[in-house]
Structure 1
């Protein structure tokens, strides 16, 4: 793929870069080299390859969510240093 001056200026504008003419020429050559290297992947036959999300097989190891009763409020507040109106009382942190 040939990278032209307009493409370089467009990419530089997106990246908020100010490039000199010499830098634009070097970037064009570098991008052409990168794109031609990546284009080699198009030569591979991937028709029999299953698309994957991860390189190694991973499955969810978390338990299923299930609705259960919560602990009784009085048991939860039993060890609270301070409580007020059935809630934990903590120091005020915002004025």
Structure 2
């Protein structure tokens, strides 16, 4: 696959990017180098290689997910600037 000037102009338009002539040439060269690099990956023999879901074999050690009350209602309301017995009060934002 080769990227030409019209493709660069279309991608730039869709991306809302604006290049002068020099910048357009640099982008064209850079994108073609990227495409060439990605094409080289097709040369790699991947027969018998299983797809990865993670890059390492390390696993996270997860704690047991046990529900518990970390704060009582009173502790939660203690630092609230405005509240009634059960709820936080906030300024009205909608009419």
TM-score (norm 2): 0.63
Write out per-residue CA displacement over residues 37-63 of structure 1, whole angstroms, 9 at most, x where no aligned residue: 221000111121121132220223112
The unaligned stretches of length 5 or more in structure 1 are 78-85
Count the aligned residue pairs. 82
Query: Which contiguous aligned blocks of 4+ residues in structure 1 show a shift greater than 3 angstroms?
Result: none
The unaligned stretches of length 5 or more in structure 2 are 83-89
Tell me which moved more, 20-29 or 1-10.
20-29
Q: Which has the larger radius of gyration?
A: 1
Q: Larger % of strand: which?
A: 1
Write out per-residue CA displacement over residues 37-95 of structure 1, whole angstroms, 9 at most, x where no aligned residue: 22100011112112113222022311232456x58xxxx76xxxxxxxx6233251777
Write out per-residue CA displacement over residues 8-63 of structure 1, whole angstroms, 9 at most, x where no aligned residue: 01221233221122322232122112211221000111121121132220223112
TM-score (norm 1): 0.63
